[in-house]
Amino acid sequence: MPSSPVPEPPPRPPSPVSRRSILLGGGALALGAAAAGCTPGGATPAGRTPVRFWSLFQGGDGARAETMYAAVEEQAPHLAIEPTTLAWGPPYYTKLAMASVGGRAPETAIMHLSRLPGYAPGGLLEPFDLDLLAEFGVTPDDFVPDLWRRGEYDDGVYAVPLDTHPFIVFYDTELADSAGLLDTDGRLRPIRSDRELVEASRALAEAGGGNGISFGYVNDDSQGWRLFWNLYSQTGAELRLPEGGPAELDHDAALRVYRLLAELFDGGTSPAGQSYQTALAGFADGRSGMLLTGEWELPYLQDSVENLGAAPFPTVFEQPGSYADSHAFVLPRQNDPDPERVRAAHEFVALMLRNSMTWGEAGHLPAYRPVGESEEYLSLSPQADYAAAAENPVLDPPSWFAGAGSTFHTDMTDTVRTALTGAGPEAAVEQLAEALDSWVVRENPTVGGTS
Amino acid sequence: MSAPARTRIPQRTPEAARPRRARRAIADASWTFLLPFVLVYGAFLGWPLLSGLWISFTDLALNGAGGDFVGTDNYAEALGDPLVWQTVGNTAFFTLITTVPLIVIALAMAVLVHAGLPGQWLWRLAFFMPFLLPVTTVALVWDYLYNDDFGLFNQVLGVFGGDGLGWLTDENVAMWSVAAATVWWTVGFNFLLYLAALQSVPDHLYEAAALDGAGAWARLRYVTLPQLRTVTVVVILLQVLASLKVFDQIYLLTMGGPGDSTRSLLLYIYDLGFTGYRIGYSSAVSYLFLAIVLVIAAVQVWIAMRRKA
C-alpha cells in the first residue's frame, strides 16, 4: 500500500500516550512482527508497510522510544514499526555490520554519529533521499550545521541526527548549597577555572557525604575518554589523526588534563578508581555532591535523587566545550531494497524527529531544532539548565577507528586509569601518544577490495 | 599355518562366501549409521576448521572487505603483538590459580562429605548447587559482592576497620577476584567426580589398612589418594581445558580490565574479530591458540602413556 498523503510539517505536541495505547501499540507491533515473519519482503496483510528499526535504547531510553513508536503509528497508521532493541556497546555494532553484510539489514537503525566514519566508507550504509525527507517535513536547515555535517560522507547524507547527548555535571542541590556553590537562583555558580573546580570538589567533600566529585570509568568502555576529550578540547589544543600517521597530539595540553584529573581524583577528596556503577550509586545515595557523566543518566537520577541539579560541563580551561555524541538514524545497506519500505523508513525517521519532545524528556537534547528550540522543551527542568551544552558539542575526532563502543575508546579510557591509579599523568601522556601512533598506522579493515 | 592360507584361495564355496557377504553388509549399513554424525561433524567442525585456517592467511574483514591472501603476515604480526603475549600470560595465570584450588578444594570437600558429615545430602546439594547457575547470574551476584562501595566484602572489611579493596577495579586484584568467583561457581563439578570416585574405593582396602594399624590420616594418604589418581588425571585434563577457554565471566565482570589485566586470549581474539572487524588476523591468533592447546594436550597424553607403561 502506498503511504498516505504527506502530513503537514509543523511540530505537533506529543500526544500524551496512555498505558493502554502503549500496550495496544505493543500488541500491534508484535502482530506486525509475526505477520512480517510470515511474508518476508512483502507488506503486512493489513496493508501496512513494515519498518524494521534497530536501536540500542535500553532502560529509560527504551521506554521513551516505545512511547515514540506508538505516537508515530498513531500519526501514520500505514506504518508497521518493528523495533528491535539490542544491548549497547561493541556487540551492537558487530550485529549491525553483519546485518548489512548479509544484505538483509533492517530498514533503519540508530548509530552513534561518531561511528559513521567507520561505516559509510565500507559500503555498509545507504544515503538518505533528501527530497523524500523534505516531503515528510524534515530539511537540513532543521539541524545545527556542525551536527548535520557529521552525517555527510562524500556527496551523500548517511546519518540524520536524533539528538545530541553531551557529558555534563549532575549535582545535589542541597550539598552544593551547603558548600556555597549555588547562586541566588539555586543553580550551580559558574566554575571558571581548573582551580575553581578543585576548590568546588573540596568544598563538596567537606559539606557532607565524604566525597567531592564522583566519576566512574574503571572497566568501562568509554567514560575515561569522554572526560579526557572534553577537557582536552577546552584547552584549545588540536588532535589530528591522519591515516598513516603521525598523530599530532599536544603533549602539554594532555598533561594539563591528566594533572587536573589526578588532583581532583586524588583518592582523598574524591575516589581515584571507581567503576561506572559505583560512582553512579555513590552520587545517588548522597555520598558525593557531584557526578560527571552523560545526561543519559537523567531518568535514573531523577527517580533516585531528591534534589537533583544539572549543568553543562564547566569551562575550566580556555574555551567552552562539551564532549558529546549523537544518536542518528541510518539506512543499513540491503541487497534488494523495496522502494516502498525505503519510503516508509524516511517517513518513520521524519516522524520520530518530530516526536522527539518525548526524547528530550529522557534527558537528550533533540537535534531537530523545531523541537529542541521550542518553548515546551526549554521549559523542561533540569534539561533546560544544560541545554547550552549543545552549543559547543565536541564529538570524537572523525576517524574510522573512533566512536562509541570502539576499541579506541577502551584504549583511551585506559590512559586515564594510568594517570589516576597507575604510573601518573606523565606516563599517561606517553601511553596516549603511543596508542595514538599505533592507531593511525593501522589500516581500516572494512575498506578495500571486496572479495 | 596352511588353514588360513586356504581360505584365501579365490575358490568360493557358498560356505566361505556367506560370512564375507554378511561382513560387507554390516560395513555398508555402518556407513548409513555414521553418515549423520560425519555430516554434522564435517559441517560444524571439519569445514570451519579448514575455512578458518584459510581465513587466517587473508586480510578478510567482518564486512567482507579484503580477503586477499597475505601469506604468513598475520602470524608474524601476532607473534610480535605484545597484547597476544600478555593475554596468553593472563590466560596461563588464570589457569594456574583456578586449576589448583579447583582440585584441592573439590577433593577436600569430597573427603569431608564422604567421611560422613551429618546431613550429607545438604552438603552435597550446597557444594554442587552453584554449578547449576548460568554464568550471567554468577557474574551479577559476584559483581555486587565485589562492588567497591556497597559490596559485601568491602562492607565486612570496613567493619574491621579495613580500607576495602578494589576487587574488580585494582589491576593487581582483579584476576584473583575473577578466579575466586570461578572456583565458587565450578568447584561443584569436580567435587561430584571426586565423591563418585571415593564411593567406588573398595571397602576391603580400608579394612586391610585398619588391620595393619593405619589411622585415619594414613588411610587417606596410602589408600584414598592413590585410588583417586585416575580421576585426578581426568579432573586436571577437564579443568585445564575449561580454564584455557575462559571468556564469559571475565567479559561480564571486567570486560578484560582494568587495563588489560584480566583480558584472556579468547577475549582478545573476540575483540580483534568482532569489535575490530579483523577476522583474518583474529583467526590467525586463534590458530596460534589452537597450537598451544595441542601442545598441552600432547604433553598430557604423553604423561598418561608413560604412567601406563
The pLDDT tens digits of the residues spanning A20-34 come to: 444 444 444 444 444
* % chain A with pLDDT above 70: 89
| DSSP classification of residue A83 | E
Q: Same topology for domains A19-158+327-366 and A167-324+397-440, yes or no?
A: yes
* pLDDT digits 0-9 by tens, A359-384: 998 899 999 999 999 999 999 989 99
Please compute, for residue A1, the number of CA atoms within 13 A of its CA located in the half-sphere on the CB side. Answer: 16
Over range A227-237, report the average pLDDT.
Answer: 96
Helices then strands, counting H and E runs in chain B, come out as 16, 0
Domain A167-324+397-440 is in which class? alpha beta
Per-residue pLDDT at A381: 87
Please compute, for residue B299, the number of CA atoms within 13 A of its CA located in the half-sphere on the CB side. Answer: 8
Q: Which residues of A touch B63 (CB under 8 A)?
A: 97, 100-101, 122-124, 446
Q: Which residues of A touch B69 (CB under 8 A)?
A: none
Q: CA A96: distance to chain centroid?
A: 17
A46 pLDDT more than 80? no
**Nearest residue to B243 (alpha-carbon basis) of B303, B196, B175:** B175
Q: CA A122, A126, A130, A134 torsion: positive or negative? A: negative
Q: Does B278 touch chain A (CB under 8 A)?
A: yes
Q: Does B244 touch chain A (CB under 8 A)?
A: no
Under a CB-based contact definition with an 8 Å cutoff, are residues A118 and A403 in contact?
A: yes
Under a CB-based contact definition with an 8 Å cutoff, are residues A35 and A46 in contact?
A: yes
Exposed / middle / buried, residue B83 (Cβ in 10 Å: 0-12, 13-18, 19+): middle
Domain(s) of CATH 1.10.3720.10: residues in chain B: 73-308
**Chain B residue nearest residue A421, CA to CA:** B170
Q: Does B7 touch chain A (CB under 8 A)?
A: no
Q: Does B173 touch chain A (CB under 8 A)?
A: no
The domain segmentation of chain A, as residue ranges, is 19-158+327-366, 167-324+397-440
| DSSP classification of residue A322 | E
Q: CA A234: distance to chain centroid?
A: 20
Place of cell 550446597: B126
Per-residue pLDDT at A90: 83
Cβ-defined contact of B61 to A445 (cutoff 8 Å): yes
Domain B73-308 is in which class? mainly alpha
309 residues of chain B, pLDDT tens digit each:
444 444 455 555 555 556 677 777 777 788 888 899 999 999 999 999 999 999 999 999 887 788 889 989 999 999 999 999 999 999 999 999 999 999 999 999 998 888 877 888 888 899 999 999 999 999 999 999 998 888 899 889 988 887 888 899 888 999 999 999 999 999 999 999 999 999 888 888 888 888 888 888 888 888 888 888 888 988 888 899 889 999 999 999 998 888 889 999 999 999 999 888 899 999 999 999 999 999 988 888 888 788 766
Rounded to whole angstroms, how far apart are CA atoms A397 and A239? 8
Q: Which residues of B touch A407 (CB under 8 A)?
A: 271, 275-276
Partners of A104 in the β-ladder = A334
* pLDDT digits 0-9 by tens, A168-225: 999 999 999 999 999 998 899 999 999 999 999 999 999 876 789 999 999 898 999 9
Exposed / middle / buried, residue B295 (Cβ in 10 Å: 0-12, 13-18, 19+): exposed
Per-residue pLDDT at A26: 44
Please name the residues in contact with B59: beta carbons below 8 A apart, sequence gap of 6 or more: A445, A448, B66, B67, B68, B70, B73, B74, B278, B280, B281
Rounded to whole angstroms, how far apart are CA atoms B247 and A121? 32
Per-residue pLDDT at A60: 81
Of the listed ranges A79-93, A105-119, B2-16, the least confidently predicted one is B2-16
Mutate to test the interface with A, among B73, B144, B148 (most CBs of A within 10 A): B148
Q: Which residues of B touch A422 (CB under 8 A)?
A: 171, 259
Partners of B142 in the β-ladder = none
Q: Which residues of B touch A93 (CB under 8 A)?
A: 275
Q: Does B81 touch chain A (CB under 8 A)?
A: no
Secondary element (H or E) of residue A365: strand A365-366
Cβ-defined contact of B63 to A94 (cutoff 8 Å): no
**Nearest residue to B182 (alpha-carbon basis) of B109, B251, B230, B125:** B251
Q: Give me B110's grid cell.
A: 569430597
A19-158+327-366 under CATH 3.40.190.10, yes or no:
yes
CA distances from A37 to A29, A33, A77, A78 (A): 12, 6, 20, 18
Rounded to whole angstroms, how far apart are CA atoms A329 and A54? 10
**Nearest residue to A35 (alpha-carbon basis) of A99, A81, A85:** A81
Per-residue pLDDT at A44: 57
Rounded to whole angstroms, how far apart are CA atoms A313 and A309? 12
Rounded to whole angstroms, how far apart are CA atoms A437 and A406? 17
Q: Give me A339's grid cell.
A: 522502494
What is the reported pTM? 0.83
Over range A351-366, report the average pLDDT.
Answer: 93
